Structure 1
Amino acid sequence: MNHATRKLCLILSLALAGTAAHAQDAAAQTAAASEPAAAAATSALVGAPPEGKGQIVFFRPSKFAGAAVGFVVREGETDLGKLRSGNYFIAAVEPGTHQYTVHSEAKDVLTLEVEAGETYYVQGSIAMGFMVGRPNLSPSDQAAFDAAAPKLKLSK
């Protein structure tokens, strides 16, 4: 390769490296700008708890495995809502200790200590059981809900 060709290759390499760095900076700025938008979208889905109460967002991310199986979340004898794949619902509750149950062939119980003005997140899932899927409730967080939110629908 002659000297002029090497010089041209070096110039092109530097130009491409600068363009790649600029593209990465632009992508980082776009991602940072979209975070408040995602938080606002979640706030629109969830909102604030009623005065003097806490709220629990029960959600089940959309997945193919176990999609045909839904389960009812209960507190004592009261049905709070049904979770199917890709659904969520919100329960406003009095402050204090609450036990939420789901069951099919097996029973799962989640105990939460709820404070007034706070929002809690609970993720539902299905594990393999002997005859049918085994529902499970586990504590979660807003980040997990935010990640699943674009594919979630409010449970009926």
Structure 2
Amino acid sequence: MKIQYGNFLIRSWEESDRAAAADVIHSVLTEYGLLWEPEGADRDVLEVEKFYLDAGGEFWVVERLGRLVGTGAYYPVHRGEKAVEIRKMYLLPEVRGQGLGKYLLHQLEKAIAFLGFQEIWVETASVLQQAVKLYENSGYKETEGVETTRCDRVYVKLLDLIPGK
């Protein structure tokens, strides 16, 4: 999978992306005072094959001029009807504010809908104010059931509410 957005390339994760993707996520977490948890919440980015690819999900990276500047992923979860969870949606500070996050989220939603999933779940932390605003402005409804230690918010979106589906 490859999608062009301005001077960004959104593409499927490759094994050679492991360290750079982990660095992006670690950097953004640190920026917001959140802990990098390689044995816990972030183990999935170190074992993409197991947690995403083998589980029926996808892990994408965002490149600009050959450098990884963002990530976004999803995998099936047992939370509702044919549900997935969007995870690891992080962008480095220098690429924020250009509509990339909104575009990436929309592309993830399209891929998820195409596969026949009916619900999208996402967990985040209140300190990630831009992410909270993005999800709320994109039709995600806050609910209960946070499962990730560093997160304090969980949202769900029913796919039949996605425009154009």
Structure showing greater relative contact order (alpha-carbon pairs closer than 8 Å, 6 or more residues apart): 1
Q: Do Structure 1 and Structure 2 share a fold, with TM-score over 0.5?
A: no
Q: Please give the TM-score of this superposition, normalised by the length of structure 2.
A: 0.21
More strand by share: 1
